[in-house]
Amino acid sequence: KEKVEITKEQQALMKIITDAYNRHQIPQDVAKKLLQDQYSAEENFLLLTEMATSQVQVLVEFTKNIPGFLSLDREDQIALLKGSAVEAMFLRSAQVFSRKMPSGHTEVLEERIRKSGISEEFITPMFNFYKSIGELHMVQEEQALLTTVTILTPDRPYVKDQQAVERLQETMLDVLRKLCVLQHPQEPQYFARLLGRLTELRTLSHYHTEMLASWRMN
Ligand SMILES: O=C(NC1CCCCC1)[C@H]([C@@H]1CCCCO1)n1c(-c2ccc(Cl)cc2)nc2cc(F)c(Cl)cc21
């Protein structure tokens, strides 16, 4: 049973990434808005586009704090951002949905999103993903590292120097793996479960264009 230990450098790396992740929250809290008022399908669609747009800006700022990211080829940086923006948006939506809320709030939030205009066929896979993320009860360091690992996916379209991205992603995966072992000692397969969510996330993201195109406007 090897003793898992996070090195000083890995500790520092994790702090930089987690602080950056927490700093770059979405300006106005979309969950609060949805809990306060009931919006029409058009208003919900507008809210989603506004949120997604501000999320992209947040993502760009966040990646600047990923050690090594700015040393990548500039065009590769853009390819990584473009390739991960939708996944990062769904991952953040899942994390917002899974936040501990006063009793009854999550149910209201779910109901409002179910009725927001999204086509029926996408509701189930989307909430299955949100609930599978919620069940992991990730600590904020794990959330930040999981988003970082998603951004640093080497096989995004148009990435030229995949090796350089792979090296960075490996560095982050090593920290995440150790963190999972230390945070969830009772669950040796926790890290594997976490990575399995990234596969589900990629599938959900394939629906994104169709989800927008089929938004049920009145
Ligand atoms: O604005 C949203 N998410 C932002 C995106 C940037 C990061 C912060 C969260 C959307 C909007 C809100 C208005 C109704 C329709 O869903 N949203 C989605 C969602 C995302 C993609 C599509 Cl195509 C459909 C729905 N899932 C959510 C889960 C949630 F818990 C909350 Cl609070 C909002 C959620």
Reported confidence tier of residue 24, pLDDT bands at 50, 70, 90: confident
Q: What is residue 137's predicted lDDT score, i.e. its pLDDT? A: 94
- Please answer whether residues 192 and 161 qualify as being in contact, where contact means their C-beta atoms are separated by less than 8 angstroms: no
pTM above 0.90, yes or no: yes
Q: What is the ipTM of this complex?
A: 0.98
The torsion region of residue 117 among left (phi > 0), alpha (psi -120 to 50) and beta comes to: left
Hey, is 152 helix, strand or coil? coil
Q: How distant is the alpha carbon of residue 163 from its chain centre? A: 23
Q: Which residues line ligand 1 (CB under 6 A)?
A: 26, 30-31, 34, 44, 47-48, 51-52, 55, 89, 92-93, 96-97, 109, 113, 116, 118, 208, 211-212
Reported confidence tier of residue 25, pLDDT bands at 50, 70, 90: confident
